[in-house]
Amino acid sequence: MIGWPTTGRYRAWLTACFVLSAAGHPGMAGQTSADNIEAEVEAILAISADPAYGAYLGGECATCHRASGAAPGIPQIAGLPRDHFVLALVEYRAGLRDNDVMRTTAARLKDDEIAALAAHFAAAD
């Protein structure tokens, strides 16, 4: 009979292959890689976002990030180019940037919210 051998040994080999390939591709194991970050940033930049919604969401950011100029220890985000802004938030969300407040803030932002915030702040000065 022609077909896939179903011996235990073959199945063990298949399992080993799967485990090894998953280990070789962090994305498959549910971890974050540079590729994932890049893909997330691309996807968010592709969303057609509403700056007015971003302005609404961004109200809470202004407690720390002043409308213009940097406060001590807090970078200015008004006027940041969208790609820089989105990358920063995606990295905080993934835990790749080390700031507790920003990690917590970014963790609850969905892609469309990040896109809207980026559109708003890029246009702000």
Give contact residues for ligand HEC (rule: CB under 6 A): 58, 60-61, 63-65, 73-75, 77, 80, 85, 88-89, 97, 99, 101-102, 105, 117
Burial class (CB in 10 A: 0-12, 13-18, 19+), 21: exposed
Backbone angles phi, psi at 112, to 5 degrees: -70, -25
Nearer to ligand HEC, 77 or 115 (CB): 77
Comparison of 42 and 60: residue with beta carbon closer to ligand HEC: 60
User: CB of 60: closest distance to ligand HEC in angstroms?
Assistant: 5
Q: How far is the CB of 30 from ligand HEC (least distance, A)?
A: 25
Q: How far is the CB of 42 from ligand HEC (least distance, A)?
A: 17
Beta bridge partners of 74: 71
